[in-house]
Amino acid sequence: MPQTPVEALKNAALYTDHQNYALVKLPPKAITAAAGVVAQVSEPFCALLVDKDEVSLILPAEAWEDFQSRLPGHQVSTQYYRLLTFDIELKLDMVGFMAFVSRALADAGVSILPLAAFSRDHILVSAGQFDTALATLERLQREI
């Protein structure tokens, strides 16, 4: 039986590590330096995203403070973000999970940065909206 977005959210633990994260933009040529930073970060969550126009890093704020001098030409977000992980293995063929979650958060006025790993989805929420995001998702879980 296929997993549905409602079932997945109902059974997911909402995990946060209580850390602030910095979102960093680098020029495409900075990929090697950025990968070196990720390799040295000892925290359990960080992300390196590469596309044709930029390299993006998501790092714990404390790690960013330690490594920013190694990444010239960076732009860093003016606010910190907090992590929410949907701690359940999501099936790769499930359709609509993030749409279901993001609709509820959008209705609550919460902006998100969604990220997907192989089996779990994550969202980053501005630190100032984190409590609203968590309360919204917990309420949605209770209602389903």
Sequence-ordered strand ranges (E) for 1-144: 13-15, 21-26, 47-50, 55-60, 75-76, 81-87, 112-116, 121-126
pLDDT recorded at residue 44: 84
CA distance 54 to 15: 29
Q: What is the pLDDT of residues 77-116, one digit of tens each?
A: 999 999 999 999 999 999 999 999 999 999 999 999 999 9
Delimit the CATH 3.30.70 region(s) of the chain.
21-76
Percent of the chain with pLDDT over 70: 99
Instruction: Choose the CATH number for 21-76 among 3.40.630, 1.10.8, 1.10.760, 3.30.70.
Output: 3.30.70
Nearest Cα to 60, choosing from 82, 77, 75, 76?
82
Sign of the C-alpha dihedral, residues 60, 61, 67, 71? positive
Give SS3 for 19.
coil
| Ranges in the chain, pLDDT < 50 | none
